[in-house]
């Protein structure tokens, strides 16, 4: 019995030792991917919250007082230049035109009679001049009355899209009262605010760079398919925010953008000799960011780094790394500091290609 117990203990010890040896062998066979940072010229897009406005957006107001007799268009309708929009009841203005015509006809007859008498030296030239002045005055009053009558018809001053009605059919309209707004959305102005330091960097680079192209990310996070151009910068900084307003112009051939929209302007920023690493090669401790660097003895050492810029799946490192360093690219959760590992080196160009394909998906 005692001999059987000893044999069982030896058997269990053998099995335990075999398992430990197998686990150790498995650990030694595990290879971690290691890569090195790359240094190259690249660019990132800096995002700025923006407001989208029509390059031509106006208020349509009445020029005469009266009742709104007809509305010929609808909200959201696309209008052509000169298209009739509203009509204010013209009865009073029509009567004024008829009165002015009658007065002009009377002045014209009076002038013709006076001219006939003047030709026969019956009246003096001064009386003829006075009759001519009365006729000219009557013609001017008729033109004024016709202008007032013309103001009762409100037409689109340019091609554009109607906004909401501010008055309904039959409403009493006062002079200069707002009826609606009209937007020409073929060209859009996009305004965004830039901090002073970034403005100074932009001005410095703009002198040597011919391109001022920017992109627009719409409110649904999709990119607008037509690039824009920064055309103007306002004259003054906002003393409260320290920002200055930029204006970029975007053509809007499909009419997707509307006045009053929002989004983000993406402005390209060139980075010279940027040191780039994959984001997944980093880990956080409190508010600091680290990578594992492999030393000459294949031992991992945690190294603090600072990030200058962030790109999709990538970081641009400001300090803490050199291009000659070897960093752990995967499996950060399976290792610990000062641990020796077996690794396989993968050039970052291959790593970068994989990250780009992942980002494209």
pLDDT digits (tens, 9 = 90+) for 61-101: 988 888 888 999 999 999 999 999 998 887 677 767 778 78
Cα 94 versus chain centre, distance? 49
Portion of the chain with pLDDT greater than 70, in percent: 86
| Confidence band for 356, pLDDT divided at 50, 70 and 90 | low
The closest alpha carbon to 192, from 137, 244, 125, 123, belongs to 244
CA atoms of 5 and 13, how far apart (whole Å): 12
Q: What is the architecture of the domain spanning 90-151?
A: Orthogonal Bundle (1.10)
CATH topology for 30-40+274-360 is 2.40.420
Instruction: For residue 288, list its beta bridge partners.
Output: 285
Q: What is the architecture of the domain spanning 64-88+152-176?
A: Beta Barrel (2.40)
- What percent of the chain is helix, strand and coil (3-state, nearest 5)? 30, 40, 30
CA atoms of 152 and 138, how far apart (whole Å): 22
CB 343 within 8 A of CB 332: no
pLDDT recorded at residue 3: 52
CB 241 within 8 A of CB 222: no
Q: Pick the range with the lowest mean pLDDT from 196-210, 260-274, 315-329.
A: 196-210
pLDDT recorded at residue 360: 46
Distance in Å from the first CA to the final CA of the chain = 68
pLDDT digits (tens, 9 = 90+) for 137-147: 878 887 877 77
| Confidence band for 331, pLDDT divided at 50, 70 and 90 | confident
* Other CB atoms within 10 A of residue 79 CB: 20
pLDDT digits (tens, 9 = 90+) for 290-307: 999 999 899 999 999 999
Q: What count of residues does the chain have?
A: 361
| DSSP of 95-111 | HHHHHHHHHHHHHHHHH
Tokens of 73: 């268009």
pLDDT recorded at residue 361: 46
CATH assignment of 46-55+185-271, among 3.40.50.720, 3.40.50.150, 3.90.1170.50, 2.40.30.170: 2.40.30.170
What are the boundaries of each domain within the chain? 30-40+274-360, 46-55+185-271, 64-88+152-176, 90-151
Average pLDDT for 110-135? 79
86 DSSP 8-state letter = E
| Confidence band for 309, pLDDT divided at 50, 70 and 90 | confident
CA atoms of 295 and 325, how far apart (whole Å): 8
Indicate the Cα dihedral angle 294, 297, 299, 304, nearest 10°.
-40
């Amino acid at each position: 019995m005692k001999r059987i117990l000893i044999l069982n203990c030896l058997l269990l010890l053998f099995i335990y030792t075999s398992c430990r040896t197998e686990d150790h062998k498995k650990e030694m066979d595990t290879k971690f991917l290691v890569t090195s940072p790359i240094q190259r010229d690249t660019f990132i897009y800096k995002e700025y919250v923006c407001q989208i406005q029509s390059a031509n957006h106006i208020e349509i107001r009445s020029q005469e007082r009266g009742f709104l007799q007809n509305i010929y268009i609808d909200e959201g309708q696309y209008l052509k230049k000169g298209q009739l929009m509203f009509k204010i009841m013209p009865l009073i203005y029509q009567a004024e035109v008829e009165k002015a015509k009658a007065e002009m006809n009377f002045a014209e007859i009076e002038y013709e009679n006076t001219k006939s008498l003047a030709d026969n030296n019956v009246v003096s030239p001064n009386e003829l001049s006075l009759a001519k002045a009365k006729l000219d005055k009557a013609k001017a009053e008729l033109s004024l009355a016709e202008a007032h009558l013309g103001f009762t018809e409100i037409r689109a001053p340019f091609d554009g899209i109607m906004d909401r009605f501010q008055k309904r059919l039959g409403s009493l309209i006062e002079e200069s009262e707002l009826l609606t707004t009209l937007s020409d959305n073929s060209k859009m102005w996009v305004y965004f605010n830039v901090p002073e330091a970034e403005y100074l960097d932009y001005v410095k680079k703009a002198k040597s760079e011919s391109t001022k192209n920017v992109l627009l990310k719409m409110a649904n996070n999709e990119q607008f398919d037509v690039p824009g151009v920064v055309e103007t910068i306002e004259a003054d900084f906002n003393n409260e925010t320290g920002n200055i307003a930029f204006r970029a112009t975007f053509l809007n051939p499909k009419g997707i953008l509307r006045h009053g929209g929002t989004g983000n302007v993406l402005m390209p920023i060139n980075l010279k000799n940027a040191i780039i690493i994959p984001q997944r090669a980093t880990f956080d401790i409190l508010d600091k960011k680290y990578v594992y660097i492999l030393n000459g003895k294949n031992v991992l050492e945690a190294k603090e780094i600072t990030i200058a810029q962030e790109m999709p799946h990538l970081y641009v490192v400001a300090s803490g790394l050199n291009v000659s360093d070897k960093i752990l690219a995967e499996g950060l959760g399976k290792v610990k500091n000062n641990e020796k590992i077996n690794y396989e080196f993968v050039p970052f160009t291959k790593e970068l290609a994989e990250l780009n394909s992942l980002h494209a998906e």
